[in-house]
Amino acid sequence: MSQAKTITLPTDWRDFFALTKPGVMRLVIFTALCGMLAAPGTLNPVLAFTAILCIAVGAGGAAALNQWWEADLDAVMKRTAHRPLPGGRMQRDSARDFGFALSGLSVMTMGLAIGWLAAGILAFSIFYYAWIYTVWLKPRTPQNIVIGGGAGAFPPLIGWIAVTGHITLMPILLFLIIFMWTPPHFWALALFVQIDYSKAGIPMMPVVAGEKSTRWQILAYAAALLPLSMTPWFIGGTGRIYGLAAFLLGSVFLWLSIKVGLRTSVPGDGMKPEKRLFAYSIAYLFILFAMLVADRFATLYGLQA
């Protein structure tokens, strides 16, 4: 990690908020909430809010630590050069201290208010993203997204455990769905911003293995995601509403991945299929988890067998 640049601009609360990656946090909060609502049992509304807040704050702390460590890399890439640290609006130590403070506060509050199993997994998820992915995997291997995908897969698992107090097959499947979803989602993005990664020296799959290999791997993961996403229905953990939604959503995901996997980009073509897959992948995860909750409530209120 090289020396930080000289800071000349003032910092305000919006810069600290930006450190938490609010765009990513929306998905974290949503999947955690869905895991909580889909779990068997109930949780006091105040405790439920506390659990979601802890997950969100923990994710924000991990994101701040990620940006603290990668400030120099972010400055090189067009997509991230506007962030508070490369933009010169914040001292690097301030981002580090903010990240550690949020992380510690979230874990301790989760442990005291909800339970230490949920707190322990939250702590590990922060460590996974801030250290295993950011420090160790990302600069060393093109498999960084594959292995590091676990970091974003923890929220529904933690939400489920907050309600039940234990781990079963269903929350593990929710974890695995996001884990398998992450590579095609992120590699679709990497295909049309690979120049940025190349400039920064980050060994993302398109930079190291080339476009053709990346496209085939996107297709392979999307093909595996379809049956995996339907497994909660196969094992009786959900009803037909979720099962049908998983099939339809996954089929569209696979179709868009086929269009990406079998094409060859040319300069100036705009990468429209890749951008379409990336945008759809976000909607896919939101809708899939929303259908998980809809299925749960339909079953509770006798709307499906």
In order of their start, the domains of the chain are 9-167 (1.10.357.140), 180-305 (no CATH)
Find all residues with CB under 8 Å of 171, minimum gap 6, and list them.
35, 39, 156, 157, 160, 161
> What average pLDDT score do residues 204-221 get?
90
Q: Is 94 in contact with 11 (CB distance < 8 Å)?
A: yes
Per-residue pLDDT tens for 147-187?
888 889 999 999 999 999 999 999 999 999 999 999 999 99
- The Cα 130–Cα 59 span in angstroms is 10
pLDDT tens digit sequence for 230-286:
999 999 999 999 999 999 999 999 999 999 999 876 655 667 889 999 999 999 999
**Gap between the Cα atoms of 119 and 110, Å rounded:** 5
Pull the structure tokens for residue 255: 């179709």
Locate 157 and state its tokens.
């698992």
d(CA 52, CA 29): 7
pLDDT at 143 > cutoff 90:
no
For position 261, what pLDDT does the model report? 92
Structure confidence at residue 9 (pLDDT): 55
Query: What SS3 state is found at 20?
Result: coil
